[in-house]
Homo-oligomer: A and B are copies of this chain.
Amino acid sequence: MMERMFGIVLLIAAVFGAPFFFHSYSRAAEDPLPSWQDGPVKQGILDFVKGVTTKGGSDYVPPAERVATFDNDGTLWSEQPLYFQLQFALDRVKALAPEHPEWKEQEPFRAVLEGDKAALGKMGMEDLVALVSATHAGVTEAEFARIVKDWVTTAKHPRFNRLYGELTFAPMVELLDYLRANDFQVWICSGGGIDFMRAFVEEVYGVPPENVIGSSGKSHFELRDGRPVLVKDAGIANVNDKETKPVGISLHVGRRPVLAAGNSDGDLAMLQYTDDGEGPALMLLVHHDDAEREWAYDKESHIGRLDKALVEAKARGWSVVSMKNDWRRVYGFEAPCK
């Protein structure tokens, strides 16, 4: 009997070729998402991409319309204990303090300079925007990009003693690559500053500057010593968060996404907007439930609060990504998954 089965196996191998038998092996070797745990969330992503890219299928979407929008803070990289851009702004306040004696008595600058942790802990996106705005008025956009690049490649996160640019989520970086390999346009749509993000997102995520949507300060064109430059002003032109995320997507992309990923109530409107498109759509909501490898927080958090969006995700069948259960590793500096 064994011999006969062996003979059949050889016959099948001869007819279909050896790869037939190594299917599960070669599939694992070609897994586009090795840092994702097998399960419904990963399978949902694979099925969605297959449907969207299968010509003639009912879920087919032409490449030009394969728009995917990703929140950044808490979705593509960590955001604790402070939004990283807020940490950047704090460092800038300290660096610029000698030129601004008035900051000693002016909030939120006083709290920053005195290291008032209670006050710092309560800061939200608006304080971040105020700090960024105030600390960068007057520099050209090119100078600002240099300052950010300098910070991202030198400042280290206190918990991991790693560069901030290393605290990106390996499973999400894989997902961005996988989507681009399937002719998706990958966009970032974040409450973070557009100029801040552009200084590093191409290097860490492969996202070009023209695919970044974010909060923005005002700026103006002038001739400085006869040379045309763009100078950043103190005001805020746009905060890209909550209900203004779909507005930002419309302004920059001009199409409704077919895939959106976020991690907080700030992403709810973007996810709703994506869900209501005419064709297929995939909504991903990253749930920070892994205090050991990253952080665990949701509806009680002052940063990345996740409350309404989690309720709606469950009601509407969106994919809730458990960092603890769906990700085999969190950061790129951990050992690669095989």
Contacts and interface: CB of A to CB of B under 8 A. Distances in A.
Contacts of A64: 208
B208 A251 contact: no
Interface of A: 64, 141, 185, 194-195, 198, 208-210, 212, 216, 219-223, 227-228, 230, 243-247, 250-255, 269, 272-273, 275-276
A221 B198 contact: no
B252 A219 contact: no
Contact of A246 (B209, B210, B228, B254): B228
Among A208, A243, A247, A272, the most chain B Cβ lie within 10 Å of the Cβ of A247
A270 to B, nearest CB: 9
Q: How many copies does the complex hold?
A: 2
A110 to B, nearest CB: 32
Given A228-B269, A276-B227, A221 B209 contact: no
Closest 9 CB pairs of A and B: A209-B254, A221-B243, A228-B272, A221-B246, A228-B273, A198-B254, A210-B253, A228-B276, A221-B269
A141 B251 CA distance: 11
A15 B257 CA distance: 57
Nearest to A232: B250
A221 B253 contact: no
A268 to B, nearest CB: 10
A222 B273 CA distance: 10
A210 B250 contact: no
Given A185-B210, A228-B276, A230-B250, 4 more contacts: A198-B254, A210-B253, A210-B255, A228-B246
